[in-house]
Structure 1
């Protein structure tokens, strides 16, 4: 018995619908797989077109503000955390510069906001730097750009050094794992594959400098990056550090200061030239490679800008500012260059005389030297950095010109005073008002500080008996 034409049409239609449903299911499965891959990609094309950082379905504009994207391809939870797991990564060193006037130093401290590692908008009651609570300006930018892979422990973060409140740096270095566009060829090479800096490899890699500088505040910039081995430490792999301290010459005796500065060169115990931390630091010997004074080719009428250049393997807490403070006393004729010999002789002078450190603002961590580390900066990132710094320099020059005009205009020029006399160098301090360093009250010695930290013998005996 044959079927009617209507029944054949119905069967054909049902078969076609079933085929379409199968095709739709297959396409939805493929779409899910492609969406999963897309969520972990860094879409460079979109970055260039709209001027933002695009990662994992989220976007950040040049000011660090979130930009709305298609909800179908955006995972809100991953976008908020800014930490991407299970992505290719490489261990890199980042070179940073920052102007420290508004910071309480580079490293985060309890209740001291902001620091370069602790932005003002993130506060914590904890006395420790917690990756999830006490976030940093640097890590805040890394989260916005989704460059972090894992938590702080997995990132293996290290920094070259800490700088004091108000101190700037043009060569601070940190190291950590960051997300990469590249994958190791095999798991055996996972620790060393990222050391290549070939041009074709660099062109395919994330431009870390350009991406991060788009979201960092104006007074912090990344100036270069370099792939480093996994056992690299920004702190312990550093071969030397160089500081600069700027000052106006005024009436300072440059020759006397040069003579005094040479006494620092070599291996010495600098406990009388630092803020002693007897609880954590037990070795106060440091090696100074060079101590130089040089003109900066910058003048203000009859005055001239100079700087100390101090290079060494490592430095103690406040060491440079203490060294400079005593140097200024020598330059003013208040102390002899021989006072350096007495202060460096810790057997004869076990206690540090009380004196005030030099101001922090003119101090700069100029550079940190590492073996085999060559920092990279793309031409686009270098150009943007040049424009940014040039704009800042012009702004400061305008402010300086206005301050100079105020000096000439607002102060009365009477009784024979001229423009030149208003800008004359400072007179020497009277020697009578100065108390010799070796005659001043002293701070406790290292041994005395340690004795206060350690429990008394009788208390220790009672403690032993109680256990």
Structure 2
């Protein structure tokens, strides 16, 4: 059988009406013919191809409006699909399924808002202080992390910032200082949607215009939800109860009456948002929210607080605890603490009188710290200073603790506390002429100290803001554990794990010390008070396991004095 002529020969043949006989073509000729029919355009289905009268080069119509067959590009996404006005989402279901939906902006105006208070803890060692800072900071602040979690949970509008949600804090803590019962108040999103005439459409800045920091606010009776507090849900732990007992004399008479139909915390739990569960799922383990409370619009975390309770932990090794207790007892009452605090000229303070309700030192017990490995008289012999007052000056607690450590090291006498509080030449210092043990032994009147001596304040690590006390009618604390299975156990187990890891680290450090003690002798304790300018060297304790070595110790009252408050304030005004 003779081979068919080549394509070139077929092209030269005259066109006839008879169709070509493809049965006689070779495989290569058939492939070439198919490519010729397909041409440079997109592949077409066989039903749209019209045979040519020529057996070699048929004319193939290619209508531009016809889409390609689904099998040609169905597995590959078309990046220009959104730019093609003729494309249809229904023609490619796979592409429609894989395409992410457009992001919807959260509409805060569609939800009601309510004012609440949050009680939370934070480990201060990893943060640059509590308060939000405008500029960049070496370490994040606690408020910045907490606000970011609130914004991520869509409880506050991040565009409006702290002022937009009426943010107020109870007590400001510095870098390295921790908090176990810190409180902030703010407006957050509620679980209910506002009706058309709801007052929640009023901007938050207008709702809270009377509660900005530095302005005293009215703390009248509670007018929102939470007036009928369930005693089982109130904050009744032993430390808070003792703090509240110390501040009981400050609580005004409770105004009777209230909003009709107020629901109890138990009845509200099912309808409230799970503030604790939501925030703790976002926050780092070093910040934990314990409880929340619905509060009145007049409530202020700062000005509604009746008392603040600080704790300072220290090792009593080589310290005279009885002498320290003598000095601490002199703090109780209303005194001028300008020499026991740090002066901040930007505030232009002229009054430094503060009221201390309780000041005592006690050994750390197991039930205080929930520490089942270290008890009283343990390896570190840990003690704690409990200091409760209505308000505190800048760095006041750390200055007080620095002087108490000097007393415990027998570098100062307990009477130095009375001297540092004796700042007014015309004031009556007779209430400080007795010792702090309540005995009848008279001591010489304290010298007048109108300007602060130079001395270093105590370390920040052992200091914690233990509790902030509010009247029960102002803040009824609750949790959202009622509708979360095992909610309380989850938070408790998290903190238990953190405490156990800290105990392991402390045990390791003690064993490192034991290993080194085989080759290095410990520093001998100071058994007496040195004379003025007596040669040392002396290890001056600063708390937190730190100390400052001095070759010659100069008593506090013989040291160089800083400028007076009036001079410092005037200097700042001139530079401004």
Which of 283, 289, 292 is equivalent to 1:225? 292
User: What is the CA–CA distance in structure 1 between the aligned matches of 2:565 and 2:572, rounded to whole Å?
Assistant: 11
Q: Which residue of 2 aligns with 1:94?
A: 118
2:265–2:478: 8 Å Cα contact kept in structure 1?
Answer: no
Measure, in 1, the Cα distance between the counterparts of 2:145 and 2:288. Answer: 11
Q: Partner of 2:266 in structure 1?
A: 199
Measured against aligned partners, the alpha-carbon deviations of 1:74-116 in whole angstroms (never above 9, x if no partner) come to 63443xxxx7233111100000100000111101334433243
Counterparts of 1:186 and 1:230 in 2: how far apart (Å)?
21
- Higher Cα Rg, which structure: 2
1:71-150 aligned at under 5 Å gives the runs 71-72=100-101, 75-78=103-106, 84-109=108-133, 110-117=135-142, 136-149=144-157
Does structure 2 conserve the Cα–Cα contact (< 8 Å) formed by 1:91 and 1:194?
no
Specify whether residues 349 and 143 from structure 1 end up closer, same or farther in structure 2 by C-alpha distance, changes over 3 A only: same
Residue 299 and residue 262 in structure 1: after superposition, are their counterparts in 2 closer, same or farther (change >3 A)?
Answer: closer
Aligned ranges 1:435-454 → 2 under 5 Å: 435-454=554-573
Match of 2:518?
Answer: 413
Q: Does the 8 Å contact 1:90/1:180 carry over to 2?
A: yes
Which of the two has greater strand per residue?
Answer: 1
Residue of structure 1 aligned with 2:456, choices 350, 356, 359 = 356
Match of 1:151 among 145, 151, 160: 160
CA contact (8 A) 1:303 1:425 kept: no
Pairwise CA distance, 1:428 = 5.2
For the Cα contact (< 8 Å) 1:209–1:381, is it kept in 2? no
CA distance in structure 2 between the partners assigned to 1:301 and 1:394 by the alignment: 17
CA contact (8 A) 2:111 2:194 kept: no
What is the aligned partner in structure 1 of residue 350 from structure 2?
282
Contact kept, 8 Å, 2:333 with 2:356, in 1: the verdict is yes
Regions of 4+ moved over 4 Å: 69-72, 183-193, 299-303, 424-430
Kindly state the Cα deviation for residue 404 of structure 1 after the two structures are TM-superposed: 2.6
- For the residues of structure 2 that align with 1:364 and 1:222, how far apart are their CA atoms? 16
Task: Give yes or no for contact 2:110–2:194 (8 Å, CA) kept in 1.
Answer: no
Instruction: Judge conservation of contact 1:184–1:193 (CA < 8 Å) in 2.
Output: no
SS of the residue corresponding to residue 151 of structure 2 reads helix
Distance apart, 1:324 and its partner CA: 0.5
**Per-residue deviation at 1:263?**
1.0
Distance in 2 (alpha carbons) for counterparts of 1:364 and 1:147: 28
Which 5+ residue runs of structure 1 have no aligned equivalent? 1-68, 119-135, 461-467
- Per the TM alignment, residue 219 of structure 1 is displaced from its structure 2 partner at its CA by 0.3
Measured at CA, do residues 223 and 425 of structure 1 come closer, stay the same or move farther in structure 2, by a change above 3 Å?
A: farther
Look up the SS of the partner of 2:173 in the other structure: coil
Post-superposition Cα deviations, 1:284-328, rounded to whole Å, max 9, x if no partner, equal: 111100101111133575641000000000111100000000011
Does residue 243 (structure 1) correspond to residue 310 (structure 2)? The answer is yes
| Gapped regions of structure 2 (runs ≥ 5) | 1-97, 201-206, 208-222, 227-262, 366-374, 425-447, 535-551
Per-residue deviation at 1:184?
Answer: 7.1
Which structure shows the bigger proportion of residues in helix conformation?
1
Give 2:362's match in structure 1, choosing from 246, 271, 294.
294
Contact 1:302 1:425 in 2 (8 A): no
Using a 3 Å threshold, how does the CA distance of structure 1 residues 223 and 329 change in structure 2: closer, same or farther?
A: same
Q: Say whether residues 1:369 and 2:469 are aligned partners.
A: yes
**Superposed displacement of residue 425, structure 1:** 7.9
Separation (CA, whole Å) in 1 of partners of 2:196 and 2:225: 12
Report the 3-state secondary structure (helix = DSSP H, G, I; strand = E; otherwise coil) of the residue aligned with 1:203. coil
Q: CA deviation at 1:71?
A: 4.5
